[in-house]
Amino acid sequence: MAMASSTRYAMVLMMVLAVTVVVVVTSVLATTTTTTAFAQEGQGMRQSTTDGTLDILLEPTWNPGSPGSTESQASFRVSFLNPGTDTLHEHQDYDFRILNSNGEQVFSAARQTNQPLLHNVPGTITVPYTFEERGDYTIEVYLGGTGIGPTLIPTDESAEFNVVVTPEFPVGALGAIAALIGTAIVLSRNSSSNSNRGSRFRLRL
């Protein structure tokens, strides 16, 4: 009877701890608002413009918002490169745009200055942006022309990159869950060990 009682106790204990883990996970997921963004695991992405005039290298840097905020701050470094090389191409007319999952434009660098296009001289730019909502986004680097003045060559090309803003699971929560699971294992082993000792004790009588 003692062995059966110990076994039942261990099973009930495991069930209680399992329910506790589920409740903790659900609660954390329900209350987590900190966001993180990623694009190909945070590595730089490279695309040719639609007609192959230039290569565009996009290097995002992500800065999670403050605790309790749904915002996620990002900084995008854009490099205009000669096709197939790592050499910067100087002088481009461009726009940097962000579109949401519905294809709606939520940001335009040129629009921020009330201009149709911006002109870049050195071949690299950095654009900051704060994502206010989670979801799928498209980064569009539009190339309207290369060169300057009388040597300007008009183009109508773009390169697109997909990024995702998604909830971040707190590391602290993972540690708490791991601790709960570890506790369940230890208690289960102790209960099992006590049960075995009880069996051996009875055999000795």
pLDDT given at position 166: 78
Segment 19-23 shows an average pLDDT of 49
Residue 140 and residue 108 in contact, taking contact as beta carbons nearer than 8 Å: no
Sign for the pseudo-dihedral over CA of 170, 172, 175, 176 = negative
Per-residue pLDDT at 179 exceeds 70: no
Segment 8-26 shows an average pLDDT of 54
Q: Where would I find the beta strands (DSSP E) of the chain?
A: 35-38, 45-48, 55-64, 72-81, 92-99, 105-108, 118-120, 124-131, 135-146, 153-167
Domains and CATH numbers, the chain: 1-10+23-32+170-196 (no CATH), 35-167 (2.60.40.1470)
Residue 45 and residue 161 in contact, taking contact as beta carbons nearer than 8 Å: yes
CA dist., res. 56 & res. 159, Å (int): 7
Q: What's the pLDDT band for 124 if we cut at 50, 70, 90?
A: very high
pLDDT given at position 73: 85
Per-residue pLDDT at 186 exceeds 60: no
- Report the 10 Å Cβ neighbour count for 200: 8
pLDDT higher for 66 or 37? 66
Q: Which of 46, 66, 49 is nearest to 57 (CA)?
A: 46
CA dist., res. 50 & res. 127, Å (int): 22
Q: Which of 39, 38, 37, 57 is nearest to 47 (CA)?
A: 57
Q: Select the highest-mean-pLDDT range: 38-47, 56-65, 164-173.
A: 56-65
What are the backbone angles phi and psi of residue 130, rounded to the nearest 5°?
-110, 115
pLDDT given at position 20: 52
What is the identity of the amino acid at 53? T
- Report the 10 Å Cβ neighbour count for 160: 17
Please, what is the end-to-end C-alpha distance for the chain in angstroms?
15
